[in-house]
C-alpha cells in the first residue's frame, strides 16, 4: 500500500493510485492521540453496552455462533463530536473532491470492532457494489471505471497481520467483479497495516476483507463511506440524528448529510420556475 503523510498527501497522486494503481493508500498524521483515545473510548463503551447490531460479510461467523466477536457501532455522528471532525478532515475532503466530485456525500460512518479470536470477513466489494455477486440486478455494462465509492478506515488499534489488518488484492479495482473462490484472494492479498491514528483510504471496488484477529488486543476502526451526491446512502443519517444536530451542522457536514442535494423531491409541490440547467 502506497503511504503518505498529512503533508505529502497529494490529491491527484492519490486519485491515480486509487483508480489505476493498487487501489489503496495509507495516510499518517491526520489525527491526534487525543482524538484517537476519545473515539476509541466512545466505541468501546457503546459496543459493550448495546445489543448485537446489523453487520455484513460475516455469514460464516454467524453459522458457527461467534458473531459476537465482531461488534458494530452505527450512527457515530450522534455519539461524539470527534467523529464529525474525522469525517470532515481537510486532507480527506480535498482528496474526495477530486475523486467523487465537489458535492460528494457520506453514506455511512460506523465502527467495526473485532475482538481477539474474531473471525475474518468474506472477501467482498463495498456499497453500492456490495451485492455484485448478483450482477443481474445491476445495469448492463456496469463497471468501476468511474468511482461511486471511497472508503476511509481510521485505525484505532495497531493493524498488523496478527491482529487481522484488512486484506486486499492490489489492482483488483480495475475490473468490477465480485471475488470468487477461484480468484485465490487469500493467496494473493496484501495487508493495510498501520498504527493507531493512521488512515487507510481505498476504492471500495478493490477486493478486500477484515482478516481474523489472532492477537491479544482489539482491532477497531472508524469506517467512513463516501459517495457521489446522487448515490442513495447506506445509512439514513439525517433521520437518525437529533434535529438540533442537523440544524447546527457546519456547511461541510450539511453537504455530507446530503442536505444540499434536493432529490428525490415532490416536484408537484416544488417552487415554480426553472430549477436545472446552465442558467
Instruction: Please report which confidence band the pLDDT of residue 275 belongs to, taking 50, 70 and 90 as the band edges.
Output: confident
70-84, 99-113, 222-236, 261-275: which has the minimum mean pLDDT? 261-275
Question: Is 274 a member of any domain?
Answer: no
Is the model's pLDDT at 52 over the cut of 70? no
Question: Is 14 a member of any domain?
Answer: yes
**Position with higher pLDDT, 50 vs 86:** 86
All three cell numbers of 35: 482524538
Instruction: Please report which confidence band the pLDDT of residue 50 belongs to, taking 50, 70 and 90 as the band edges.
Output: low
Report the percentage of the chain scoring pLDDT > 90: 84
Average pLDDT over every residue of 260-267: 91
Is the model's pLDDT at 227 over the cut of 60? yes
Question: Is 12 a member of any domain?
Answer: yes
Instruction: Please report which confidence band the pLDDT of residue 56 belongs to, taking 50, 70 and 90 as the band edges.
Output: low
Using alpha carbons only, give the angle 99, 211, 3 rounded to the nearest 5 degrees: 40
Question: Is 166 a member of any domain?
Answer: yes
CATH of the domain at 135: 2.60.120.620
Question: Is 68 a member of any domain?
Answer: yes
Question: Is 234 a member of any domain?
Answer: yes
Average pLDDT over every residue of 90-98: 98
* pLDDT score, position 62: 53
* pLDDT score, position 279: 75
What pTM was estimated for this model as a whole? 0.93
pLDDT tens digit string along 184-217?
999 999 999 999 999 999 999 999 999 999 999 9
Of 208, 101, 87, 59, the residue nearest 152 (C-alpha):
87
* Domain of residue 157, residue span: 2-269
Question: Is 28 a member of any domain?
Answer: yes
Is the model's pLDDT at 61 over the cut of 80? no
* pLDDT score, position 274: 86
Q: What is the mean pLDDT of the chain?
A: 92
Counting Cα atoms < 13 Å in the Cβ hemisphere of 199 gives: 24
Question: Is 278 a member of any domain?
Answer: no
Instruction: Please report which confidence band the pLDDT of residue 65 belongs to, taking 50, 70 and 90 as the band edges.
Output: low
* pLDDT score, position 48: 82
Instruction: Please report which confidence band the pLDDT of residue 63 belongs to, taking 50, 70 and 90 as the band edges.
Output: low
Number of folded domains that form the chain: 1
Amino acid at each position: 500500500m502506497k503511504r503518505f503523510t498529512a503533508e505529502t498527501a497529494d490529491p491527484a497522486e492519490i486519485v491515480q493510485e486509487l483508480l489505476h494503481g493498487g487501489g489503496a493508500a495509507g495516510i499518517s498524521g491526520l489525527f491526534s492521540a487525543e482524538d484517537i483515545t476519545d473515539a476509541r473510548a466512545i466505541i468501546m463503551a457503546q459496543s459493550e453496552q448495546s445489543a448485537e447490531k446489523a453487520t455484513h460479510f460475516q455469514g460464516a461467523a454467524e453459522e458457527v455462533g461467534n458473531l459476537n466477536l465482531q461488534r458494530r457501532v452505527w450512527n457515530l455522528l450522534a455519539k461524539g463530536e470527534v467523529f464529525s471532525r474525522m469525517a470532515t478532515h481537510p486532507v480527506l475532503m480535498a482528496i474526495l473532491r477530486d475523486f467523487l466530485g465537489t458535492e460528494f456525500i457520506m453514506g455511512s460512518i460506523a465502527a467495526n470492532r473485532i475482538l481477539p479470536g474474531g473471525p475474518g470477513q468474506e472477501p467482498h466489494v463495498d456499497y453500492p457494489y456490495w451485492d455484485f455477486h448478483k450482477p443481474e440486478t445491476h445495469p448492463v455494462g456496469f463497471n468501476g471505471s468511474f468511482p461511486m465509492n471511497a472508503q476511509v478506515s481510521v485505525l484505532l488499534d495497531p493493524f498488523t497481520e496478527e491482529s487481522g489488518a484488512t486484506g486486499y488484492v492490489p489492482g483488483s479495482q480495475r475490473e468490477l467483479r465480485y471475488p470468487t473462490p477461484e480468484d485465490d484472494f487469500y493467496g494473493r492479498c496484501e495487508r493495510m497495516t498501520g498504527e493507531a491514528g493512521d488512515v487507510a483510504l481505498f476504492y471500495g471496488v478493490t477486493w478486500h476483507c477484515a482478516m481474523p484477529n489472532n492477537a491479544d488486543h482489539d482491532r477497531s476502526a472508524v469506517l467512513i463511506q463516501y459517495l457521489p451526491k446522487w448515490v442513495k446512502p447506506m445509512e439514513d443519517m439525517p433521520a437518525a440524528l437529533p434535529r438540533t444536530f442537523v440544524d447546527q451542522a457546519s456547511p461541510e457536514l450539511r453537504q455530507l448529510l446530503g442536505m444540499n442535494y434536493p432529490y428525490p423531491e415532490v416536484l408537484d409541490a416544488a417552487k415554480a420556475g426553472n430549477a436545472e440547467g446552465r442558467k
